[in-house]
Amino acid sequence: MNEHMNLTERAIDMRVFFDRKADGYDDVHRSFMETKTALTEALPDGTRRVLDLGGGTGLELFPLFERFPDAVVTVIDVSEKMLDALRRRPFADRVRPVPGDFFEVDFDSDYDAVISTSALHHFEPDDKLILWRKIYGCLRPGGLFLNADKISADRQAETDAFAFYRKNKGSENYPHIDTPLAPSTEVRLLEDAGFRNVTVTLTDRDNYRLFRGEK
């Protein structure tokens, strides 16, 4: 794609946007709880060490800690204000919040699972492959990557989303623009990153899918 997006610039844009939306985030995203709960339901028994990318205020961690009370979760999010809300959760003592850009922050290693929901539909395929390989590298052998996220209807809609982003980024009318990928693109990138037994599952939302890959 031409005019490859500047990841640092986009991370700053997302931080500003989500800092502004932090106070009302839960009110909007409680309607996504069925999708968020699907992450926990897809985890195997015995899951203990988890990395949550874009975990924000930690809504998806309520079902996770209910099923896995001894879990320890690292949450990386670009918005410090979202993480401030996370620090006030009843399970805050079992969470390590890390502010920063997914492409810059050290993920550590040997996680049983990496999870994410509604957070990773902002990157071009080439950049996403870099991120998927980073996720693959931080998992223990046999670990899982579970990503419940927004999708484009097809490859043309995917291309159109990036064209719209480039035309309108920085506009007051469009302070935040999603650029989701088609499911076929997501699967290809996961497999190119090394993941095996990649599956795509329907969720309660037509424009979301749950992607699962094993290391």
Q: What is the pLDDT of residues 33-43, one digit of tens each?
A: 899 999 999 99
Model confidence pTM above 0.85: yes
Mean pLDDT of the chain: 94
Question: Chain-centre distance of CA 44, in angstroms?
Answer: 19
DSSP string for 186-201: HHHHHHHTT-EEEEEE
Helix 183-192 / helix 125-138 crossing angle, nearest 10 deg: 50
**Tokens 């623009």 correspond to what residue?**
177
pLDDT tens profile 126-179: 999 999 999 999 999 999 999 999 999 999 999 999 999 999 988 888 888 999
Percent of the chain with pLDDT over 90: 80
Q: Are 179 and 122 in contact (CB under 8 A)?
A: yes
**Angular region, 26: left φ>0, alpha ψ -120 to 50, beta rest:** alpha
**Residue 1 pLDDT > 60, yes or no?**
no
Q: Are 48 and 68 in contact (CB under 8 A)?
A: yes
pLDDT tens profile 103-132: 999 999 999 999 999 999 999 999 999 999
Higher pLDDT, 105 or 23: 105
**Tokens 């899918």 correspond to what residue?**
209
The one-letter amino acid code at 68 reads: F
Domain ranges of the chain: 7-214
- Picking from 14-23, 71-80, 110-119, 124-133, which range would have the lowest pLDDT averaged per residue? 14-23
Percent of the chain with pLDDT over 70: 98
Read off φ and ψ for residue 32, nearest 5 degrees.
-95, 10
Mean of pLDDT values over 183-190: 98
**Tokens 């699967």 correspond to what residue?**
187
Q: Would you give the DSSP letter of residue 78?
A: S
Instruction: Name the class of domain 7-214.
Output: alpha beta
Mean of pLDDT values over 25-30: 86
Find, among 111, 108, 131, 110, the residue nearest to 120 by Cα: 131
- pLDDT at position 183 is 97
Distances (CA, A) of 28 to 54, 103, 195, 204: 16, 27, 32, 16
Distances (CA, A) of 12 to 78, 94, 105, 175, 178: 8, 28, 14, 12, 15
Higher pLDDT, 21 or 45: 45
Burial 60-92 (b: 16+ CB within 10 A, else e): bbebbbeebeebebbbbbbbebbbebbeebebe
Query: What is the band of 4 on the pLDDT scale with cuts at 50, 70, 90?
Result: low
- pLDDT at position 7 is 87
Question: Chain-centre distance of CA 48, in angstroms?
Answer: 19
Token pair for 120: 């990773």
List, in order, residues 6 or more apart from 127 with CB less than 8 Å away.
Answer: 5, 7, 103
- pLDDT at position 127 is 95
Query: What is the band of 12 on the pLDDT scale with cuts at 50, 70, 90?
Result: confident
